[in-house]
Amino acid sequence: MKNMTQTETNQRRRTVFFLIVAVMILAAVTAAGILTEGCAVETDFSRRNLSPSLQHLFGTDWMGRDMLARTLSGLSLSIRIGILTAAVSAAAALLLGTASVVLGRKADAVISWCIDLVMGIPHILLVMLISLACGRGFTGVVAGVALSHWPSLARVIRGELIQLRQAPYILVAERMGVSKLQNVRRHMLPHLLPQFLTGLILLFPHAILHESSVTFLGFGLSSEQPAIGVILSESMQYLTTGKWWLALFPGLALVLVVALFALLGERVRRLLDPSSAHE
Amino acid sequence: MKHRLQFTGKKLIRMALLLLGVSIVTFLLMCASPLDPLQTNVGQAALGTMSPEQIAKLEAYWGVDTPPLTRYLGWLSDVLKGDFGTSLLYRQPVISVIGQRLVSSFWLLLSAWVISGVLGLAMGVIAGAFRGRWPDRLIRGYCFLISSTPSFWLAILLLLIFAVWLGWLPIGLSVPAGMDAAAVTAADRLRHAILPALTLSITGVANIALHTREKMIDVLESDYVLFARARGESEISIILRHGLRNVALPALTLQFASVSEIIGGSVLVEQVFSYPGLGQAAVTAGLGSDLPLLLGITVVTAAIVFAGNLIADLLYGVIDPKIRKGASRG
């Protein structure tokens, strides 16, 4: 028995350790990106199109910009946009998901209809449209990604709350005269917190992927900014001449960051979910 | 049977309303755009040299001076008559532009949809059957990695490997460059569609594989599988007769519901391979502020997605009698 408790704490400790390391890596990338921003736009035509070497780990591009610096500042930008948009999206999802349960059947019908509507348009098309409406650029991307990612989480929250509404302790509280709003705040939301948190963290990868996709298509950040989407869309012109490093490393770095976020979300879920917290 | 018809009818009405909503939202978003279509398409320099009359004519062509509500109502009444307007960039009826693009996208989307579905199902079944062992870990790792990968980067990588390094497949476009349209053979088209279809297929498997795996594990832990094992049925036979049969329909339903993701992916992939499909037309229309075309494309894609969802809903009813009853009542 004693042995078992020991492995439990180890597993838990390992997860917590992983979480700390992952957050630190992401924070380091973000900080490094902000610091290298000056480096990223620095052009030097004496070192054009260098393939990766010790001096320039990721090589340089057609204007002699260091690809490592560009990638880092691109990632940093992506992470910051991802955090911003995921937070807005998750807040909207929480608000609408709760409203559809609390405000009665009509509100529920309207909100469900909106969820279906937003989910009916392919994500990338919707982000494109919203970005257009905001005049592209930074605002366009942020608005586009923030306003298109709430439906799935809102649906989860709504479903969870509808189930929860029939739970005995909620019914008892209602009978005892606790107001609806109080009930939601005191009894339902705390119950929802783990799911909401993991939903929030799992929104990051989506947000980052869509941000870079939309930028890649030309609807997002402008081409002067060192975004991953811009880097990859520029690299397309140089592929046929064999400059593989322009596309390979920045994309790989993006995949790693997105995967790290996804792992983070998965681990947090396992830690918070009572059914797997002690595995 | 009557219930089923009622259920379908209700869903169809809901679908029509949603399509109306999609068109309104798209229209509003396009109207709200501060980007001036004249600036983007004609250019500041050219505008400067034009006479006011010419500019007024162009403004009328791009519909800048008409109030949004009149434009929308005009568009809607035309659509109900089957006329989606004229594309401003291509100077052709929107319907014919979409028709051409949809035909070339259709085979791409369909093959990617079928391949990713079959592959995902097979991977899910294998992972579920080997739960916790290396095939399971491998498949789960692959799904995790692929869902963290932007599809356009994967497309670039495949392009780099197969078209630039190995030179096996063409770089892009749906037909060889500089070739007469009549001289293009089906084999040419196929060769040009391989890479885009491959990209879409290998990115599409993650979701369905993971869901199938969960279902498969549920099935293999059930009492009837335990009984089958006790009777001495072989593992292969259990997986094929009890596992595959039970997970096939939910997987099919899921695949119908995920049409939207494949279409979304095709926008990016077509752009990378400059494949002249619907997705590429959407990007062109968006960048050029071609309102009628983008509106048409969005409505048509939404209709395809809703149709997929409708089929998924109906299939749920086929699998689960409880849902069938509940749906017809409420």
pLDDT of residue B10: 86
Is the Cβ pair B156, A255 closer than 8 Å? Answer: no
Residues of B in contact with A219 (CB under 8 A): 286-287
Q: For residue B115, what pLDDT band results from cuts at 50, 70 and 90?
A: very high
Is the Cβ pair A218, B287 closer than 8 Å? Answer: yes
Give the residue-averaged pLDDT of A73-88: 89
Give the residue-averaged pLDDT of A103-132: 88
Q: For residue A199, what pLDDT band results from cuts at 50, 70 and 90?
A: confident
Q: For residue A70, what pLDDT band results from cuts at 50, 70 and 90?
A: confident
pLDDT higher than threshold 60 for residue B7: yes
Is the Cβ pair A122, B144 closer than 8 Å? Answer: no
Tokens at A89, concatenated: 């999206």
Amino acid in the structure at residue B103? V
**pTM of the entire structure?**
0.82
At B159-173, the pLDDT tens digits run: 888 877 777 766 655
Tokens at B294, concatenated: 């983008």
Is the Cβ pair A121, B17 closer than 8 Å? Answer: no
pLDDT of residue A93: 92
Contact assessment for residue A140 and residue A219, using Cβ atoms and an 8 Å cutoff? yes
At B119-161, the pLDDT tens digits run: 999 999 999 888 888 989 999 999 988 888 888 899 888 888 8
Q: How many angstroms separate the CA atoms of A89 and A45, rounded?
A: 43
Q: For residue B183, what pLDDT band results from cuts at 50, 70 and 90?
A: low
Q: For residue A26, what pLDDT band results from cuts at 50, 70 and 90?
A: confident
The residues with which A66 forms a beta bridge, in sequence order, are A60
Q: How many angstroms separate the CA atoms of A264 and A261, rounded?
A: 5
More confident residue, A158 or B62: A158
Contact assessment for residue A268 and residue A193, using Cβ atoms and an 8 Å cutoff? no
CA B246 to chain A, closest CA, distance in angstroms equals 25
CATH level 3 topology of B94-329: MetI-like fold (1.10.3720)
Q: For residue A2, what pLDDT band results from cuts at 50, 70 and 90?
A: very low
Q: What's the N-to-C CA distance of chain A in angstroms?
A: 15
Give the residue-averaged pLDDT of B104-131: 90
Q: For residue A88, what pLDDT band results from cuts at 50, 70 and 90?
A: very high
Residues of B in contact with A244 (CB under 8 A): 160, 164
Residues of B in contact with A71 (CB under 8 A): none
Of the candidates A76, A55, A30, A82, the residue with the CA atom closest to the CA atom of residue A231 = A76
Contact assessment for residue A66 and residue A245, using Cβ atoms and an 8 Å cutoff? no
Residue of B nearest to A259 (CA): B148
* Candidate from A124, A136, A255 with C-beta closest to B267: A124
At B11-64, the pLDDT tens digits run: 889 888 888 888 888 888 888 777 766 666 666 666 666 777 777 777 766 666
CA B154 to chain A, closest CA, distance in angstroms equals 9
Residues 6+ apart with CB under 8 A from A169: A187
Residues of B in contact with A128 (CB under 8 A): 282-283, 286
At B203-236, the pLDDT tens digits run: 888 889 989 998 898 888 889 889 998 998 888 8
Give the residue-averaged pLDDT of B193-203: 87
Residues of B in contact with A240 (CB under 8 A): 164, 171
Contact assessment for residue A22 and residue A253, using Cβ atoms and an 8 Å cutoff? no
Residue of A nearest to B260 (CA): A122
pLDDT higher than threshold 80 for residue A278: no
pLDDT of residue B123: 92
3-state SS string for chain B: CHHHHHHHHHHHHHHHHHHHHHHHHHHHHHHHCCCCHHHHHCCHHHHHCCCHHHHHHHHHHHCCCCCHHHHHHHHHHHHHCCCCCECCCCCCEHHHHHHHHHHHHHHHHHHHHHHHHHHHHHHHHHHHHCCCCHHHHHHHHHHHHHHCCCHHHHHHHHHHHHHHHCCCCCCCCCCCCCCCHHHCCHHHHHHHHHHHHHHHHHHHHHHHHHHHHHHHHHHHCCHHHHHHHHCCCCHHHHHHHHHHHHHHHHHHHHHHHCHHHHHHHHHHHHHHCCCCCHHHHHHHHHHCCCHHHHHHHHHHHHHHHHHHHHHHHHHHHHHCHHHHHHHHHC
Chain A, 102 to 161: residues with Cβ < 8 Å from chain B are 113, 116-117, 119-125, 128-130, 132-136
Give the residue-averaged pLDDT of A6-21: 75
User: Does residue B93 sit in helix, strand or coil?
Assistant: strand
Q: How many angstroms separate the CA atoms of A34 and A32, rounded?
A: 5
At B269-294, the pLDDT tens digits run: 888 888 888 888 888 888 887 888 88
pLDDT higher than threshold 90 for residue B65: no
Residue of B nearest to A119 (CA): B260
pLDDT of residue B184: 60
Domain boundaries, chain B: 35-83, 94-329
Residues of B in contact with A248 (CB under 8 A): 157, 160
- How many CB pairs below 8 A link A and B? 139
Interface ipTM: 0.82
* Candidate from A116, A125, A235 with C-beta closest to B264: A125
Residue of B nearest to A215 (CA): B268
pLDDT higher than threshold 80 for residue B298: yes
Flag whether residue A236 sits within 8 Å of chain B, measured between CB atoms: yes
- Cα angle B127, A261, B261 (rounded to 5 degrees) comes to 60
Flag whether residue A162 sits within 8 Å of chain B, measured between CB atoms: no
